[in-house]
Structure 1
Amino acid sequence: MWYNKLNLWLTSQFRVVLLTVLGTLICIGIALAIDGYSFDDGGWRWGARPWNNVIIPLLVAPPLLYFLLTQMRRLSIAYHRLETVASTDSLTSCLNRAAFATLVEAYLERFSTSPHHNRGAMLIIDVDHFKGINDAFGHDHGDEALKLVAGSIRSVLRSVDIIGRLGGEEFSVFLPGASVEQCQSIGDRIRLAVGDVAFLPEGEPWPISVSVGAAPFSSTTTFSELYRVADQYLYKAKRDGRNRVVVAPLLGTASPPPS
C-alpha cells in the first residue's frame, strides 16, 4: 500500500526536513498563483503585494509542516516497531512461525509464475535432547542454548535465505533457488556450526547438536507440503541417530516415503 511506503519513507529525519522545504515552496507557489490570477481577463499577473505571498508562507508553513511531519515520523517509527515485534520471535530474533509461513508462501507464489526459477528447499531443524538441557540446568540456560543455535544457523546462511523459529526447539530455514546439492551443503554447515557452539551452563561444556530434515523442490508446491515432507525426514534423521541431515527426494519427482 502507498500509505505503508510513505510511512517507511518518513522514518528518516532528513526526509522530514526535505518535505518541509518542498511543502513550503509549494505553498508559496499556490499563494502567488491565487493572488496573481485575474478573473476579469482569465490570466495571471503579479499581485499588488507579491512579497506577502512569499513572506507569509515562509512564516507559517515551515513550523506547521515540520510539526505535522515530525508527528507522522514518530507514528511511522512506532508502527514499524510494532510490526517487527509482531513478526519476530523475541528470544532468538528469528521470524515467528506465522511471519515465516507468510513470507515463504509469498515466495512460492512468486516462484509459481517463474517456472525457470521454481526451485528451492525447506529445512526443519530440531535441537537434539533439548529437554535434557532444561531438566539439567533450567529454562534460562535452555533459552541461552536456543539463542546460540539461532546465531549459528544464521551465520552460515546466504543473504536470500529465511530463518524462522517454529516453536520450542524447532527452527526452519527456507532456501530460495537452492539445488539439492546446496540444500545438503547448507544443512551440513548448519549442523557443524551448531556442533562448534561453546555452550557452558554453570561453567561446564555441554554439547549441542541438531537433526535436520530437508525438502528440496523443483515444481509448484506449498508451505504445508514442504513442511510435511521436511518434518518426515527430520524424524528419519532422529531415528537414524540424530546429529545428521537427511534430504528428501526432490519434490516434483516420484518420491517414496522415508524408511
Structure 2
Amino acid sequence: MVVSWIVVAVFFSSAELTSDLSIRLFGAATLSPLLVGLPLFYLFTMRMRQLAVENLRLARLANTDSLTGCLNRGAFTELTQEFLSDREGTPSGALLVIDADNFKAINDAHGHDQGDIALTLIAATLRRIVRTGALVGRLGGEEFGVYLPGANRMSAFLVAERIRRGIRRASFSPRGVPCPLSVSIGGASFAAPISFSELFRCADQGLYAAKKAGRNMVEVAAVSLPPAPVRRA
C-alpha cells in the first residue's frame, strides 16, 4: 500500500493535473501490485525451496544410519519388502547378511572409536562393490544387509565373495597397529514369491553356517519353497 501511494505521488508531482489523469491513475494502480507482488512471490518461492530441501534432509536422516551412511534397519527392511511385493514379472533376487568377525575383540583391544572406523570401512567397501540398484543397510551392531534385485544364487555368491575379499584387503591399522578385518556372509536367493522374514531367516542360516565353518566364509543357498496347496472347489 505504501508503494502504491509513492507511485501515485510521483505521477501527481511530475506535472499539473491534466486531462490524462485517469490514465496516470490507471498506470499507478496497475504497476503498484506488480512492484509489491513480485518481491513477495520471490520470497515465497525461495521459502518453499528451503522447506523442500529441509524436508529432504530430514527424510534422509530418518532413513540413514548416522555412523555408516547406509540405510538403517527400518528403511532397508521396508525397501526390500517393496521389491518382494512387486507383482510385475517373475520375482527373483537375493539377500546377503554380512557380519564382522571377532568385532568385540576389536572394540576391546583398540576402543569403540576404532571399532566405529572399522564399521565405516566395511560400509564403504559394500557400497563400492555392489551394483547400482542394490540396497545396502546396517542391520545393527556389526551386521549389514545387501539386497540384490534379480540375482540368482551364483551371481549372489560372486558378489558376496567380492565383498569378503574386498574387506579382507582393506587397510585397517588402529593407532598404527595392523588389524586385518574379515566378515562372514550368509545369503539366500529366491525365484518365487517370498516374505522378508522367510528370506532373512534363510540368509541368517547361511551366516550361522559360515561362522561355524571358521569365519571369513561365504554360504549362499537357493531358497526352496514348498509348492502352493491346490484348492479344490
**TM-score range normalised by the length of the shorter chain:** 0.7 to 0.9
- Of the candidates 141, 151, 154, which is equivalent to residue 168 of structure 1? 141
Indicate conservation of the 8 Å contact 1:215/1:251, yes or no.
Answer: no
Aligned to 1:62: 38
How far residue 53 of structure 1 moved from its aligned partner, in angstroms, is 7.1
Aligned to 2:89: 115
**Residue pairs, 1:53-202, within 5 angstroms:** 55-110=31-86, 113-116=87-90, 118-202=91-175
Letter of the structure 2 residue corresponding to residue 104 of structure 1? T
Letter of the structure 2 residue corresponding to residue 95 of structure 1? L
Q: Deviations over 1:137-163 (max 9, x none)?
A: 010000000000111111110001100
Indicate conservation of the 8 Å contact 1:89/1:96, yes or no.
Answer: yes
Q: Which moved more, 1:119-128 or 1:174-183?
A: 174-183
Letter of the structure 2 residue corresponding to residue 219 of structure 1? A
For structure 1, the residue ranges without an aligned partner over 5 or more in a row are 1-47, 255-259
How far residue 251 of structure 1 moved from its aligned partner, in angstroms, is 3.9
Distance 1:120 1:50, change over 3 A: farther
* Distance (Å, rounded) in 1 between the aligned partners of 2:222 and 2:206: 10
RMSD: 1.9
How far residue 226 of structure 1 moved from its aligned partner, in angstroms, is 1.1
Indicate conservation of the 8 Å contact 1:161/1:175, yes or no.
Answer: yes
- How many percent of aligned residue pairs carry the same amino acid? 46
* Distance (Å, rounded) in 2 between the aligned partners of 1:74 and 1:213: 43
- Of the candidates 231, 236, 241, which is equivalent to residue 204 of structure 2? 231
Q: Deviations over 1:33-80 (max 9, x none)?
A: xxxxxxxxxxxxxxx787567534431221111111211222221211
Letter of the structure 1 residue corresponding to residue 177 of structure 2? E
The runs of at least 4 consecutive aligned structure 1 residues that moved more than 2 Å come to: 48-58, 249-254
Aligned to 2:223: 250
The SS at the match of 1:248 is: strand
Q: Deviations over 1:153-186 (max 9, x none)?
A: 1111000110000000000000001121110110
Number of residue-to-residue matches in the alignment = 205
Q: Which moved more, 1:58-67 or 1:185-194?
A: 58-67
Which structure would you say has the larger Rg? 2
Indicate conservation of the 8 Å contact 2:153/2:221, yes or no.
Answer: no
Indicate conservation of the 8 Å contact 1:218/1:252, yes or no.
Answer: no
Letter of the structure 1 residue corresponding to residue 174 of structure 2? P
- Of the candidates 187, 193, 201, which is equivalent to residue 220 of structure 1? 193
Answer 1 or 2: higher relative contact order, Cα 8 Å, separation at least 6.
2
* Distance (Å, rounded) in 2 between the aligned partners of 1:152 and 1:235: 22
Indicate conservation of the 8 Å contact 1:137/1:201, yes or no.
Answer: yes
How high is the TM-score relative to the length of structure 2? 0.83
For structure 2, the residue ranges without an aligned partner over 5 or more in a row are 1-22, 228-233
